[in-house]
Structure 1
Amino acid sequence: MSLRICILETDHIRPELVEQFTGYGAMFKELFKRQPVAAEFEVFNVVEGHYPPEDAAYDAYLVTGSKADSFGNDPWIETLKAFLLDRYKRGDKLLGVCFGHQLLALLLGGRAQRAEQGWGLGNHSYQLHAKAPWMTAHEGDLTLLISHQDQVTELPEGATVVASSEFCPYAAYQINDQVLCFQGHPEFVHDYSRALLDLRQQHLGEDVRQAALASLARDHDGATVAEWMMRFVATPRS
């Protein structure tokens, strides 16, 4: 039996990239097709005010990345926060990536803000701190593609750090068996990261851009994280 996952898409990608990459919801669907846990996905763009029907039932809700600040007060963000808090109180499982990772931390009592470290870009490696039943075997550090200038700076009460680095101390966390979040982007592919770096060249500076581009020579563990997410969802709540 397949898991049913609701993807809450929190952005529109740059117009010049739509033809090749479609959007974050589509990227996640493509990513999850490559992991072994059977799952079906529906995408709702919450920036446009689209949400699942009241009577729809899902095994988990996934909040994507966004160019918006998780600590912003845009009306659509406030609506999303109210929706997610309701789902959390109902006991639903919640997954977050980048913006979603930060928003859920904020919503549940933590803190997120503009990072003093500056932009996180390219390929980044994290030390794993936990070995949970939903985690398949993984040797060495966890490597993910990243693109963020905000970070979680304080975890919600009861949260456990799953992965960290000196640059990003709270790179992944879980709250019991209900919430699992990653700062990195498992759904990104190298070509999309390169395209973002090219489009942001003026804001980043050439030295920063070149260092990030060089890091893309390494592979990343997006497929591993995708499987972990689905196994986390599939694990019965205690």
Structure 2
Amino acid sequence: MVAIIANAAPGKKSRRFALLMAARDSEYVLKRYGGYRNVFVAAFGDAGETWDLYRAVDGELPDTGDVEKYDGFVISGSPNDAYADDEWILRLCRLIRDLHAQRKRVLGICFGHQVICRALGGRVAKSSTGWDIGIREVAVANLSLPRQCGFLEALRDQLPPRAKITEIHQDEVWEVPAGAEVLASSAKTGVEMFRVGEHLLGIQGHPEYTNDILVSLVNRLLGAGSITVSVAEAVKRQLDATGPDREFWLKLCKSFLKADESYSI
């Protein structure tokens, strides 16, 4: 477990988060950013916070006695299938169920979004239409929330009807768990974002990715023969023409993880 502590800000409440990494660092991200942990902290972190890194993909998870010290958890994306039965994935599912029982805040990104769904009894599978790579516009649901519904109630009047996000996945949520609410969808993926109560949030896309990280991943998929040259070129042309609404997604994620602070969208 590795701790990252941002520069402290006077008078700011100290927070502690756990980043559960479900992927290993790529050569590109290590060289450019020093690893995915720095990408996530730059995206979701604020001054004065501590972010502890657990390499879930290598079987490293918080001990039961350590869970209480965290204000929230973030589960990263992964090249692995959330519906697979690898031991580390099964252990992660058990941890998610424990965090859910304790009403701990958990943000799942891509694989993280899918594994939260799987852990709570939803259905995850490979998309029938293949890879979704590039910038995807998603439709945000028209939320009819009761009062006292936490961060979503506070943000409801600020949420745009549509927002663009970076996508790179071939698995998707087919059916959300009982009691979950779908918050966003797209033409290609029916569940782009969902919540369970105020404490679990899954996002299919990658708010944390910069365009250069996406291009690096596209080049790796192309080199591995997973996608065609035409698909790779189409993604790069799209990036020349448009980009994600990254500021919106980062503020949304921060507002969820730190619901007692104001993040104007």
2:259 counterpart residue number: 235
- Stretches of structure 1 that go unaligned for 5 or more consecutive residues are none
Query: Equivalent residue of 1:162, what SS?
Result: strand
CA 1:162–1:78 in 2, change beyond 3 Å: closer, same or farther?
A: same
2:230 counterpart residue number: 207
Query: Equivalent residue of 1:84, what SS?
Result: helix
Alignment of 1:59-70 (within 5 A): 59-70=71-82
Hey, what's the Cα distance between the residues in 2 that align with 1:102 and 1:182? Answer: 9
Alignment of 1:126-205 (within 5 A): 126-131=138-143, 132-135=152-155, 137-201=158-222, 202-205=225-228
> How many aligned residue pairs are there?
234
Aligned partner of 2:66: which letter? D
Offset of residue 198 of structure 1:
1.3
Q: Does 1:20 align with 2:32?
A: yes
Q: 1:41 aligns with which of 44, 48, 51?
A: 51
Hey, what's the Cα distance between the residues in 2 that align with 1:140 and 1:92? Answer: 28
* Maintained 8 Å contact 1:130/1:163: no
Query: Equivalent residue of 1:31, what SS?
Result: helix
Offset of residue 203 of structure 1:
2.0
Hey, what's the Cα distance between the residues in 1 that align with 2:34 and 2:115? Answer: 23
1:109 counterpart residue number: 121
Offset of residue 63 of structure 1:
0.7
Query: Equivalent residue of 1:203, what SS?
Result: coil
CA 1:226–1:104 in 2, change beyond 3 Å: closer, same or farther?
A: same
Offset of residue 68 of structure 1:
0.5
Q: Does 1:55 align with 2:47?
A: no
- Stretches of structure 2 that go unaligned for 5 or more consecutive residues are 1-12, 144-151, 261-265
Offset of residue 166 of structure 1:
1.6
Q: 1:5 aligns with which of 1, 17, 31?
A: 17
CA 1:178–1:130 in 2, change beyond 3 Å: closer, same or farther?
A: farther
Offset of residue 101 of structure 1:
0.2
Offset of residue 81 of structure 1:
1.2
Query: Equivalent residue of 1:101, what SS?
Result: helix
Aligned partner of 2:75: which letter? V
Query: Equivalent residue of 1:167, what SS?
Result: coil
Hey, what's the Cα distance between the residues in 1 that align with 2:20 and 2:154? Answer: 23
Hey, what's the Cα distance between the residues in 2 that align with 1:139 and 1:171? Answer: 15
CA 1:102–1:134 in 2, change beyond 3 Å: closer, same or farther?
A: farther
Query: Equivalent residue of 2:226, what SS?
Result: helix
Query: Equivalent residue of 2:181, what SS?
Result: strand
Query: 1:178-197: CA deviations, max 9, x gaps?
Result: 11110000110000111111
1:79 counterpart residue number: 91
Aligned partner of 1:232: which letter? F
Q: 1:225 aligns with which of 245, 249, 254?
A: 249
Hey, what's the Cα distance between the residues in 2 that align with 1:58 and 1:165? Answer: 33
Hey, what's the Cα distance between the residues in 1 that align with 2:95 and 2:236? Answer: 37
CA 1:172–1:198 in 2, change beyond 3 Å: closer, same or farther?
A: same
User: TM (normalized to structure 1)?
Assistant: 0.90
Hey, what's the Cα distance between the residues in 1 that align with 2:208 and 2:258? Answer: 20
Offset of residue 16 of structure 1:
4.5
CA 1:206–1:103 in 2, change beyond 3 Å: closer, same or farther?
A: same
Offset of residue 48 of structure 1:
2.1
Query: Percent sequence identity over matched residues?
Result: 26
CA 1:95–1:101 in 2, change beyond 3 Å: closer, same or farther?
A: same
